[in-house]
Amino acid sequence: MTSNPSAPTRAPHRRGLTGALALALVVVLSGGLAPAAFAADDDISWAVQPSSAEGPDGRDVMSYTLSPGDTVTDYVGVSNLGHNTLSMRVYAMDAAMTTDGSFTLPPASTPSVDVGNWVGITGEGTYTIEPGQRLDIPFRLTVPPTASPGDHAGGIVASLSELGTSGDGAQQVSVDRRVGVRLYVNIPGERTPHLEVSDVTVNYDGGWDLFGGTSTVTYSVKNTGNVRLGGTAALTLTGLLGWSLGAAEDRQLPDVLPGSTVEFTETVTGVAPAVFVNADVSLTPTSVGDAGDDVGTNDSASGWALALPYTVLIIILLLAGLIFWLWWRGRRWRTQAKAALAGTASEHPQPTA
């Protein structure tokens, strides 16, 4: 058994908000150098960070390399930064990713089936913390014998539930404010790293400009492997015969969890109206934390759209209309000419022998 206290990511704190008539949820997760903190006002404020029996040890996430059946004991620090006594629930949960790349946790009522279910918090999980006090709470993480190789992500949160009112003030809601620290467990074994790019959609808005329009490209990146990966996505635009039409600034991917899909939108201006525009997205994966050098293969996908400004489209429509009108006029003239010839023949029949 080995324990790895290194910090695999240094991403900024992210906040997520989900509203409902009966439940409101606020989640703040630590992924950077400072502990995650929440401040509802000057009287209610708290923070969560990795810790030890002697206090915080400088880590920004909980990160371990463990084999099936291994157990490790660690600490999470919960600090009351406000002026009121807080009664808090501390528990672990499985993590997920939103389509915008944010690391998040589901509502507390969602059962954990992965790493969140491997963590046991000392005591009953409810703690009273006085103003200015920090509790270093021990927990035990036990990897089940059947755990699969690869990366498993979760979080340990300190939750404060309060009653509030809905936006229109018509109904009471339970507001669950949660502050957490990320938790990663890597289980050695067969690695299957793979990032996949797909669903490339291209839209071209030429406006009235004959010399350049705006191309908007959306695409999805999915982690189909069993280890979390970062990477870079490069978007290039080409026209007929490979004519270069522009490119977007390389996109730095967040740490994409196994099984997660992240969606991106890129906008490129000054794209020439080259009849059609082809968008190529090239994906280069990179290792995250101590995942090793094997990151799988690069991937790519493409999509296309017509690339014509409104003025050209109008001209094409006018020309098409003119051609149709000329064809219709010609057909009508030919019909009338045939009818006239037939009438002349009937008025002057050929003599018979």
Domain residue spans of the chain: 14-187, 195-310
Of the pLDDT bands very low, low, confident and very high (cuts 50, 70, 90), residue 283 is very high
Of the pLDDT bands very low, low, confident and very high (cuts 50, 70, 90), residue 285 is very high
Residues 6+ apart with CB under 8 A from 74: 3, 50, 52, 62, 138, 139, 141
Question: For residue 80, which of 155, 16, 163, 160 has the smallest C-alpha distance?
Answer: 160
Say how far apart CA 184 and CA 98 lie, in whole Å. Answer: 17
CA-to-CA dists, residue 269 to 98, 205, 218, angstroms: 28, 10, 15
**What pLDDT, on a 0 to 100 scale, did the predictor assign at position 23?**
39
Residue type, 258: P
End-to-end CA, the chain: 119
Q: What is the DSSP string of 151-164?
A: EEEEEEEEEEEEEE
3-state DSSP call for residue 218? strand
- Point out the least confidently predicted range of 11-15, 78-82, 119-123, 307-311: 11-15
Say how far apart CA 300 and CA 320 lie, in whole Å. Answer: 38
How do residues 168-206 score in pLDDT, each as one tens digit?
Answer: 667 777 778 899 999 999 999 999 999 999 999 999 998
3-state helix, strand, coil in the chain (%, to 5): 10, 50, 40
Question: For residue 155, which of 108, 105, 100, 90 has the smallest C-alpha distance?
Answer: 105
Of the pLDDT bands very low, low, confident and very high (cuts 50, 70, 90), residue 346 is low
- Point out the least confidently predicted range of 25-39, 135-149, 300-314: 25-39
**What pLDDT, on a 0 to 100 scale, did the predictor assign at position 158?**
94
Say how far apart CA 87 and CA 161 lie, in whole Å. Answer: 9
pLDDT exceeds 80 at position 6: no
How do residues 70-100 score in pLDDT, each as one tens digit?
Answer: 999 999 999 999 999 999 999 999 999 999 9
The answer to whether 14-187 and 195-310 have equal CATH topology is yes
pLDDT exceeds 80 at position 291: no
How many residues are given for the chain?
353
What pTM was computed for the model?
0.76
**What pLDDT, on a 0 to 100 scale, did the predictor assign at position 13?**
31
Distance of CA 243 to the CA centre of its chain: 31
* CATH annotation of 14-187: 2.60.40.10
Say how far apart CA 22 and CA 103 lie, in whole Å. Answer: 24
Residue pair 126/76 in contact (Cβ under 8 Å)? The answer is no
Q: Which H helix or E strand runs over 341?
A: helix 310-347
pLDDT exceeds 90 at position 41: no
**What pLDDT, on a 0 to 100 scale, did the predictor assign at position 39?**
56
Name the burial class of residue 114, with classes exposed (0-12), middle (13-18) and buried (19+) by CB atoms within 10 angstroms of its CB: middle
Question: For residue 48, which of 186, 153, 160, 151 has the smallest C-alpha distance?
Answer: 160
Residue 134 pairs in a beta bridge with 79
- Beta-carbon count within 10 A of 317 CB: 10
Q: Under CATH, domain 195-310 is a member of which superfamily?
A: Immunoglobulins (2.60.40.10)
Question: For residue 15, which of 32, 27, 31 has the smallest C-alpha distance?
Answer: 27
Choice between 45 and 31, residue whose per-residue pLDDT is larger: 45
Of the pLDDT bands very low, low, confident and very high (cuts 50, 70, 90), residue 9 is very low
- Token digits for 14? 């992210």
Q: Which H helix or E strand runs over 342?
A: helix 310-347
